[in-house]
């Protein structure tokens, strides 16, 4: 009597991507990781610093440095396709709205309690805008990986570094996130 065996299974290479796969590489140091770090850590740290600066606001030249970094982030996102009708409009439009709202926060000049309250309200809008960016980016990981402008993404981080050097000690949270980015990027580069 012969033993009946089940169907033969082929060993599948777990690292082999099926054709048409939407897998992404978000490993530390990858360009997608850098983009995600900017949206999660850098933008959140900026919001934390704005909360700390709520009573005073910032000088125009400092505001220009923040706008420059945000502008590069918008530009880095312009090459990213929408990702289908379910993802809504283009990603760069969401980031542009964040940038415009930031300018509104900074255009509140003065130190009165009423002006601090207005900045607090604008900060609340910035949080909502950042959340919208995060929601959209989560849906567009594949498109980001395959369409990011890597030079402009590097310019985003360079602008953050310039801003931190311009006013040491003002952006404590941002400086910490930027430092983490530099350490993690250096660690990845040393492995290559």
Residues 157 and 38: beta-carbon distance below 8 Å: yes
Pick the range with the lowest mean pLDDT from 33-37, 49-53, 80-84, 170-174: 80-84
Report the mean per-residue pLDDT for the chain: 84
**Residue 119, both tokens:** 């900045």
Question: What's the whole-number mean pLDDT along residues 90-119?
Answer: 92
Q: What are the boundaries of each domain within the chain?
A: 39-191
pLDDT at 12: 46
Distance in angstroms (rounded) separating the CA atoms of residues 34 and 159: 14
pLDDT at 189: 63
Which is more confidently placed, 155 or 192? 155
DSSP-derived letter for residue 4 is: P
pLDDT at 47: 95
Q: What is the pLDDT of residues 111-129, one digit of tens each?
A: 899 999 999 999 999 999 9
pLDDT at 84: 55
pLDDT at 2: 56
Which is more confidently placed, 5 or 137? 137
DSSP conformation letters of 36-68: HHIIIIIHHHHHHHHHHTTTT---HHHHHHHHH
Q: What is the pLDDT of residues 22-62, one digit of tens each?
A: 788 778 888 899 989 999 999 999 999 999 998 888 888 88
Which of the four pLDDT bands, split at 50, 70 and 90, describes residue 96? very high
Question: What's the whole-number mean pLDDT along residues 91-112?
Answer: 91
CA-based nearest residue to 91, from 71, 69, 76: 76
């Amino acid at each position: 009597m012969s033993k009946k065996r089940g169907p033969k299974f082929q060993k599948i290479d777990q690292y082999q991507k099926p054709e048409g796969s939407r897998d992404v590489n978000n490993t530390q140091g990858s360009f997608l990781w850098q983009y995600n770090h900017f949206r999660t850590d850098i933008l959140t740290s900026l919001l934390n610093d704005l909360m700390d600066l709520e009573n005073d606001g910032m000088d125009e030249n400092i505001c220009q440095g923040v706008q420059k970094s945000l502008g590069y982030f918008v530009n880095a996102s312009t090459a990213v396709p929408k990702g289908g009708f379910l993802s809504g409009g283009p990603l760069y439009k969401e980031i542009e709205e964040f940038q415009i709202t930031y300018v509104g926060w900074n255009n509140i000049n003065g130190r009165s309690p009423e002006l601090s309250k207005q900045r607090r309200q604008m900060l609340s809008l910035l949080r909502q805008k950042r959340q919208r960016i995060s929601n959209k980016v989560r849906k567009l990981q594949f498109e980001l990986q395959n369409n990011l402008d890597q030079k402009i993404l590097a310019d985003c981080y360079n602008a953050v570094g310039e801003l931190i050097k311009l006013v040491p000690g003002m952006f404590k949270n941002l400086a910490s996130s930027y430092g983490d980015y530099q350490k993690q990027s250096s660690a990845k580069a040393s492995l290559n």
